[in-house]
Amino acid sequence: MRLLIIASPMDRGKVLKSTAHGGGPRLPLAAAARAMLAAMTGSVPGDFELTMDELRVVARYVARTAEEVLSVFESAVPQDPRPRAALDAAWAFAGGARRTRLQRVTSLDAHRAAKEAPTEASRLAARAAGDAASAAYLHPIAKAHQVGHILRAPASAARIAEIGAGGDPEAGDRTIERARQRATPVLVEVLLRFPPAPAGRNRVAQLMAALDASLRDVRATPGRPAPLRQDGEN
């Protein structure tokens, strides 16, 4: 059976057409076909495009944050390897490996581990590892909730810092500032394709919105120090 992929960015009715036995029913474009398209073109289409290189920039940014706080989870639940596996999968993709089910599966496992963790800080650390793995599948759709795949892990790290400092919000603010400085120009360019993150009610959402605003403000405020270039990124 041969598969013809109809995948023009202007075509909102993407389909798979089976040509076996003289043709067959048209089916919705499956995730497997999207993966084939991404592998052939090096980009993921949607409301806009994200290239694999851009997704790796996002995965690297999130993975760095998750790595810094993973010990919080592992100290609380040393026998649970799931968040570590998610972080390893994130680094594999960020380092150039193809994105596969490994990132999806380990991300889900890390988020399950987060639900079972005994403290707020350990839950946030496990979730950050899950976010690192799922960054490989950031969706190019203009929805504000997608910003969470980019910035929720740094916001979680900031909340962990606050908890470790006895609830001091200045500890969170310092972590957010470090996350702003760590963001590369490519990461900011990707972020700006999405709507701003909503403020939300919980502290992590508030910290994420503050980081989001500060990164967008770099572009809007002349003379403000820009994010640093890292790892040879353009």
Calpha distance 160→175 (Å, rounded):
9
**89: CB partners within 8 A, 6+ apart:** 102, 103, 106, 107, 133
Report the alpha-carbon distance of residue 154 to residue 176 in Å, rounded.
7
Cα separations (Å) of 85 from 60, 99, 131, 178, 218? 15, 15, 12, 25, 34
Between helices 120-134 and 52-76, what is the axis angle to 10°?
160
Q: How far apart are CA 28 and CA 152, in angstroms?
A: 31
Q: What is the pLDDT of residue 15?
A: 32
- The Cα–Cα gap between 13 and 202 comes to 38
CA distance 6 to 18: 11
Q: Using one digit for the tens of pLDDT, what is the confidence trace for 77-107?
A: 999 999 999 999 999 999 999 999 999 999 9
pLDDT for residue 230 is more than 80: no
User: Is the confidence at residue 21, as pLDDT, over 80?
Assistant: no
How far is CA 15 from its chain centroid? 27
Mean pLDDT, residues 112-130: 98
Query: Which runs of E-coded beta strand occur in 159-202?
Result: none
Mean pLDDT on 194-221: 88
Dihedral (C-alpha) 131, 137, 143, 146: value to the nearest 10 degrees?
10
Structure confidence by residue, pLDDT tens digits, 160-194: 999 999 999 999 999 999 999 999 999 999 999 99
* pLDDT score for 19: 33
How high is the pLDDT of residue 44? 65
Cα gap 162→66, rounded to integer Å: 16
Q: What is the model's pLDDT at position 43?
A: 63
Structure tokens that stand for 196 in this block: 């701003």
Query: Taking the complete model, does pTM exceed 0.85, yes or no?
Result: no
Considering the chain, what percentage of its residues have pLDDT values greater than 70?
74
